[in-house]
Structure 1
Amino acid sequence: MPKQLTEMLKGTLEGVVLAVLAGRAAYGYEITTWLREQGFADIAEGTIYALLLRIEQRGLVDVEKRPSEKGPPRKVYSLNAQGGEYLDEFWRTWAFLTERLERLRSGQESEHAQQQESQGRQQEEGI
């Protein structure tokens, strides 16, 4: 994963995981597997487990231990009301940022096109 993508993902991964949990309860490995299937191939399990611990400590998820056929019980995470409110705020912030970034990009594209047009006229005029 390119370094820039990795850095951006660090800032949004908490919201991404909460969004996954808004759809269904899941355990750490299940979340990691799903994210990898969605194209986040380089996400480490340890990153997800550390994040789950942080959001659990902040009271954003409920945790239930469920028996596992393959070893000790699994901690299954589900989004609670506080986590839902946090996720709503995440989406509002995301919408704000993406709108501003699109505006910035559109402005740069327009400016770039104007500069190229101006340079083309100058070359035609022999300036």
Structure 2
Amino acid sequence: MNFDFNDSTPLYQQIADQLEEMIFSGGFDEGSQVPSTTQLSQQLHINPATVLKGMNILVNKGLLEKRRGLGMFVKKGAQQKIMEQRKESFYNDYVKSLLVEAGKLGITKQHLLDLIERGENDGSINS
């Protein structure tokens, strides 16, 4: 994990974001245990409360579960849940604004599809 101490994003959010990315990319398999708050805080040289706050974000999102006396584990279905959340964010952050701008420019649905196909064919999009 790498932290940007100059970033305006709080450390606990950076922890949550990086753990989520690790779950999504398979760094932590579903059902597997993640390092404890104590382990992470010692490894990263940050306050255990900060680590716990970041982990609790993922608990609240339904990605991690606390098992009393055992630690934190990646919930089954966590990767799919992240995928669905990211698809929804992609729609809200990119597709909606793309459609608004296309409407302003008078770009039709077919022309938009042609532009997407053009991007795929000219090598500018790595699929």
Place the TM-score, normalised by the shorter chain, in its bin. 0.3 to 0.5
Q: Could you say which structure has the larger radius of gyration?
A: 1
TM-score by length of 1: 0.42
Which is richer in strand?
A: 1
TM-score of the two chains, using structure 2 as the length reference: 0.42
